[in-house]
């Protein structure tokens, strides 16, 4: 992500998930949290983490700032340890596990750490959050409509991504293959708490998630309320816009994936919704 990028809630959630959601990541983090610094061989000897996967997992966690390597005095070896950022992942994991227990496909076959990894990994994939955002208002969309709104190259790529999200239960579809219309599911709506925690952790702990918008980008945000299940997105104005209502929709992007009914949106959002229905 370039330094001048305008970082939104969804951008930050994806950035966090990319670094901490690889399979075995949560298991490694939990071991280091309970046992303190460990040598890599100690992790593989006392857990289910395959030795062949540990190097990749720890490398990603290091780059995400969740763990670090500490030198062992008098030895060329080092040990792995949690950083301050890694120690603050509890709420992220709790939100992911809560969602997984309710909605993750195949949850019964997974231990809790792997369920957490799989739940968060859905948001490591490009455009997952953006797809859910576009559908959260309740309006079913076709692939051509998505293509107009999302920076995805090729309808086939977009269709594959939508199909994958449907397989995981985050969205559903109706109609025939030539005219599928996609809508958000209950599981997709309830992913809001996980998005919020991932984004919040990234904003606090990942330097690349805190870049301000460049001067050429105008950001608008709407506070929907103080409820803990509300996620607010601030997003840049597009370079061009076909209609005033489309511009307003993007300038006041709103999203509240929620476990419970959220507060009523401000009048500005009512105006945006009315413009879209025309």
What is the third-level CATH fold of 9-121?
Answer: Arc Repressor Mutant, subunit A (1.10.10)
What is the third-level CATH fold of 128-277?
Answer: Arc Repressor Mutant, subunit A (1.10.10)
Stretch 74-81: mean pLDDT: 92
Using the predicted structure, report yes or no on whether residue 247 has a pLDDT greater than 50. Answer: no
Domains 9-121 and 128-277 equal at CATH topology level: yes
Q: Report the C-alpha gap between 232 and 239 in whole angstroms.
A: 22
**Per-residue pLDDT, 209:** 67
Strand partners, 38: 80
The domain ranges of the chain are 9-121, 128-277
Question: The pTM is what?
Answer: 0.75
Using the predicted structure, report yes or no on whether residue 197 has a pLDDT greater than 70. Answer: yes
Using the predicted structure, report yes or no on whether residue 239 has a pLDDT greater than 90. Answer: no
Q: Report the C-alpha gap between 27 and 213 in whole angstroms.
A: 36
Q: Which residues lie closer than 8 Å to 225 by C-beta, 6 or more apart?
A: 262, 263
Using the predicted structure, report yes or no on whether residue 60 has a pLDDT greater than 50. Answer: yes
Using the predicted structure, report yes or no on whether residue 11 has a pLDDT greater than 90. Answer: no
Low-confidence winner among 18-22, 63-67, 81-85, 122-126 (lowest mean pLDDT): 122-126
**Per-residue pLDDT, 48:** 82
Q: Which of 228, 235, 224 is nearest to 192 (CA)?
A: 228
Residue owning tokens 């950035």: 15
């Amino acid at each position: 992500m370039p330094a001048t990028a305008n970082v939104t809630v969804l951008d930050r959630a994806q950035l966090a998930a990319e670094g901490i959601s690889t399979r075995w990541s949560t298991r490694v983090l939990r071991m280091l949290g309970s046992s303190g610094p460990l040598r890599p061989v100690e992790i593989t000897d006392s857990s289910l983490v395959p030795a062949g996967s540990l190097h990749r997992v720890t490398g990603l966690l290091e780059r995400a700032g969740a763990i670090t390597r500490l030198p062992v005095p008098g030895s060329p070896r080092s040990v792995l340890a949690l950083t301050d950022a890694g120690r603050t992942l509890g709420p992220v994991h709790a939100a992911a596990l809560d969602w997984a227990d309710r909605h993750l496909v195949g949850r019964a076959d997974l231990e809790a750490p792997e369920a957490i990894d799989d739940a968060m990994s859905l948001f490591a994939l490009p455009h997952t959050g953006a797809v859910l955002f576009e559908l959260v208002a309740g309006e079913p969309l076709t692939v051509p409509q998505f293509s107009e709104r999302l920076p995805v190259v090729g309808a086939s790529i977009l269709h594959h991504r939508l199909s994958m999200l449907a397989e995981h239960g985050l969205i559903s579809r109706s109609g025939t293959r030539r005219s599928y219309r996609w809508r958000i599911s209950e599981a997709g709506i309830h992913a809001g708490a996980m998005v919020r925690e991932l984004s919040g952790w990234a904003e606090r702990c990942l330097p690349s998630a805190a870049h301000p918008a460049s001067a050429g980008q105008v950001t608008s945000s709407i506070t929907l309320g103080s409820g803990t299940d509300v996620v607010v997105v601030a997003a840049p104005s597009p370079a061009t816009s076909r209609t005033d209502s489309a511009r307003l929709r993007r300038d006041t992007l709103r999203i509240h994936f929620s476990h419970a009914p959220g507060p009523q949106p401000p009048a500005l959002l009512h105006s945006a919704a009315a413009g879209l229905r025309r």
